[in-house]
Chains A and B, each alone.
Chain A
């Protein structure tokens, strides 16, 4: 029983990971089929897990109401929209006019507006970050301002060279540095993944 509890999850991870990785290199049909199935299973399991996530959200907000936590009244709002929209989408379908109406007129504007808050946040973040406190910050500042001017028409109107310099920064130092960072990170991802695939990673699922 101890095996089933603490070792089986790890060995299943080894099998899953090894099959998917090896199928990239080796061609036997069985390996290819298994890899394909495992991929399909994971997609389905991800769908299960997401739906369970909605259950977790529901539980937490029900608890907030039960314990009368700060501003718990808004938890009613959340639960109302959560359950109402699930019922609508599951029993009447996503193509029901009311479902689309809510999506187009509430969900979409809410989502787009929340995302656009980024514009305000980045302007204050740059105002603070782009300050030449030391040499590294000065380098950050100069590269940033040149690219800002090179990217818009008005910079082009001040000095056409801004666009050329920006292109150069983006294509040479930026692209090269990003490649270096990416390659190192890819090796890091490979290292972390191999720990799981070789079954050496026991920390995360072996507890209790």
Chain B
């Protein structure tokens, strides 16, 4: 074991264990409550609106690296492109990373196949633009003006393009849902989007939409981590005030 990693490793094992236990429990059909998340309830509304108006849906991950945000967003893309396939509404996906481009091609294609609409899949609508932020932005400005999407879904690791894309989407009257775990970009989504998924709300999106045991398991493991940290922080700082640093010492083991 590397130095100072023991307690963290124990946490990781516990996290995985809770994960596993709740995957099993949910699979056995035990009730799994989950609180409402407005931004995710709005996904159907967004696709429906595009269908009514005969406009495409635009989906983007932002320009960040392929990280947890992207993996979480894949779940949403899979769901939304399935809905689009069923409703005969076009979905335009724009990408900034080569590997994410390839993954999204697979996901959108699979969603169309699963919806029984393999023939309607348009490869040219899953587009690689550039991993250069400003080039990506300028291309999206153009796409918004010329193809006029009726909904703009921005879920992933966003950087400064968050402000620009959401304001440009606002100008063409698109219904907008923004969500990212990159905390710093959330205020921009809050300012310019109709719905915002704040931080962790994006990561539970897959579970919220799909309610599959696997994804529910992750939610319980995350909640376990949150409860644990709430207790550790509260108890730790009270003890620290009394001059006892045992919690911190334990965590640094």
**A interface with B by C-beta (< 8 Å):** 24-27, 45-46, 48-54, 56-57, 59-60, 63, 70-71, 110-112, 114-115, 117-118, 121-122, 124-126, 128-129, 140, 178, 181-185, 187-196, 198, 200-201, 203-205, 207-208
> A129: which B residues are within 8 A, CB to CB?
190-192
Q: How far is the CA of A117 from the CA of B133 in the complex (A)?
A: 13
The 8 A CB mask of B81-114 against A (1 = contact, 0 = none) is 0000000000000010111011100110110011
Cross-interface CB contact of A183 among B102, B141, B229, cutoff 8 Å: B229
Chain B residues 122 to 146 lying within 8 A of chain A, measured CB to CB, are 124, 127-135, 137-138, 141, 146
A194 B15 Cβ-Cβ under 8 A: yes
Nearest B residue to A49 by beta-carbon distance?
A: B98
A46 B99 Cβ-Cβ under 8 A: yes
> Which segment of B50-58, B213-221, B240-248 sits at the interface?
B213-221
> B97: which A residues are within 8 A, CB to CB?
46, 49-50, 53
20 contacts between A and B (CB under 8 A): A49-B102, A50-B97, A53-B97, A54-B128, A56-B127, A57-B129, A114-B135, A122-B163, A129-B190, A181-B186, A183-B229, A184-B222, A188-B72, A188-B202, A189-B69, A189-B72, A191-B218, A191-B222, A192-B72, A207-B110
Q: How far is the CA of A112 from the CA of B133 in the complex (A)?
A: 11
Given known A49-B99, A185-B203, A188-B222, contact A26–B181 (CB-CB < 8 A): no
8 nearest CB pairs, A to B? A188-B203, A49-B98, A189-B68, A207-B110, A191-B218, A129-B191, A185-B181, A121-B167
A114 B15 Cβ-Cβ under 8 A: no
Given known A26-B1, A204-B107, contact A195–B214 (CB-CB < 8 A): yes
B134 A191 Cβ-Cβ under 8 A: no
Given known A50-B131, A115-B137, contact A181–B191 (CB-CB < 8 A): no
Question: What is the distance, in angstroms, from A83's C-beta to the closest C-beta of chain B?
Answer: 15
A190 B163 Cβ-Cβ under 8 A: no
> B172: which A residues are within 8 A, CB to CB?
none
Q: A115-B134, A190-B222, A200-B214 are in contact. List 7 more A-B contacts (CB 8 A).
A: A53-B131, A56-B101, A56-B127, A181-B198, A182-B199, A185-B203, A207-B110
B16 A198 Cβ-Cβ under 8 A: yes
> B119 near A: Cβ within 8 Å?
no
> B181: which A residues are within 8 A, CB to CB?
185, 188-189
The B contact surface, by secondary structure, is helix
> A114: which B residues are within 8 A, CB to CB?
134-135, 137-138
> B226: which A residues are within 8 A, CB to CB?
183-184, 187
> A49: which B residues are within 8 A, CB to CB?
97-99, 101-102
A111 B134 Cβ-Cβ under 8 A: yes
Given known A25-B1, A26-B2, A194-B16, contact A187–B222 (CB-CB < 8 A): yes
The A contact surface, by secondary structure, is helix
Residues of B within 8 A of A (CB-CB), count: 75
Nearest A residue to B70 by beta-carbon distance?
A: A192
B163 A121 Cβ-Cβ under 8 A: yes
> B47 near A: Cβ within 8 Å?
no
Cross-interface CB contact of B188 among A125, A192, A205, cutoff 8 Å: A125
Chain B residues 184 to 207 lying within 8 A of chain A, measured CB to CB, are 186, 188, 190-192, 198-200, 202-204, 206
> B5 near A: Cβ within 8 Å?
yes
Most B CB contacts (10 A, CB to CB) among A27, A111, A118 go to A118
Question: What is the distance, in angstroms, from B28's C-beta to the closest C-beta of chain A?
Answer: 16
B106 A205 Cβ-Cβ under 8 A: yes
B74 A25 Cβ-Cβ under 8 A: no
Cross-interface CB contact of B183 among A51, A122, A178, A201, cutoff 8 Å: A178
> B168: which A residues are within 8 A, CB to CB?
121
Question: What is the distance, in angstroms, from B2's C-beta to the closest C-beta of chain A?
Answer: 6
B183 A53 Cβ-Cβ under 8 A: no
A60 B68 Cβ-Cβ under 8 A: no
> B74: which A residues are within 8 A, CB to CB?
203-204
A207 B113 Cβ-Cβ under 8 A: yes
Question: What is the distance, in angstroms, from B141's C-beta to the closest C-beta of chain A?
Answer: 8
Question: What is the distance, in angstroms, from A25's C-beta to the closest C-beta of chain B?
Answer: 5
Given known A188-B68, A194-B15, contact A25–B5 (CB-CB < 8 A): yes
Given known A24-B5, A26-B2, contact A191–B129 (CB-CB < 8 A): no
